[in-house]
Amino acid sequence: MADTLEIIDLHARIEEREILKGLSLTIRKGEVHAIMGPNGSGKSTLANAIMGNPKYEVTGGKILMKGEDILEMEVDERARKGLFLAFQYPCEVPGVRQANFLRLAVNARFGRELDVMEFYAKLEDKMKFLDINEAFMKRYLNEGFSGGEKKRNEILQMMMLEPEFAVMDETDSGLDIDALKVVSEGVNKLRGPDLGILIITHYERILRYIQPDFIHILVDGKIVKSGGRDLAAHLEEHGYDWITKDTVKA
């Protein structure tokens, strides 16, 4: 399908340990999906497999983006195609200034060198929305940033790069309530018919601000249950024990 990110019977491992054991999921543009699950269920492995982290070996299945198999593509090629990953723990890159990094990334994404004035006008608009100070762009990429600053910076990158599909790996991790609201507002501003979003989270709280269309529960490398917004509320109240017990019985 032309406007989908399809994960078909995906198997993946790290070193000799199999983590994903036949996961299938289809995300259409305009949809927001959330994946929840207990620790060790394979949530971050899924994010890394989609983006092409070489530490994670895909041993079976397919990942199709707009009908094209991306498994043989390098990470940068996937990004240029319009795939974006917001990391759980964004890394620091000393010596690389924020503005320089973003301009190079935007040029690579769109396959042309944006006019300097065009780039900075767009950047200023996004920074204003996210309440980011101008001095922020002169700092080195994520160096010395607080957890909230790193996550806000990733949303800025996402807004500048205009991806077609975005995977957000526990973006709410380590955020206080104010930072969570700002990050969520940024994602909601981007939400629309041209973007498919996959939110990977352990807790319900981010889903109070970014309302998903679908919620999927991941246990032992497979999606074992899917539903609507009420599924997250049920997990918040009852935890994962009930669903892991049902999975073992099945």
Rounded Cα gap, residues 96 and 204, in angstroms: 35
Helix (H, G, I), strand (E, B) or coil at 230: helix
Asked if pLDDT for residue 157 goes beyond 60, the answer is yes
Taken in order 127, 175, 13, 41, the sign of the CA dihedral is negative
pLDDT, residue 209, reads 93
**pLDDT by residue (tens digit) across 95-126?**
989 889 999 999 999 999 888 898 999 999 99
Rounded Cα gap, residues 8 and 114, in angstroms: 36
DSSP 47-101: HHHHHT-TTEEEEEEEEEETTEE-TTS-HHHHHHHTEEEE-SSPPPEEEEEHHHH
**pLDDT by residue (tens digit) across 53-62?**
999 999 999 9
Asked if pLDDT for residue 210 goes beyond 90, the answer is yes
Q: Which of 148, 203, 147, 200 is nearest to 170 (CA)?
A: 200
Maximum average pLDDT range among 92-101, 195-204, 232-241: 195-204
Rounded CA Rg of the chain: 18
Strand partners, 26: 6
Q: Which fold has domain 4-249?
A: Rossmann fold (3.40.50)
Phi, psi (rounded to 5 degrees) for 232: -65, -40
**What's the whole-model pTM score?**
0.90
**pLDDT by residue (tens digit) across 20-56?**
999 999 999 999 999 998 888 999 999 999 999 999 9
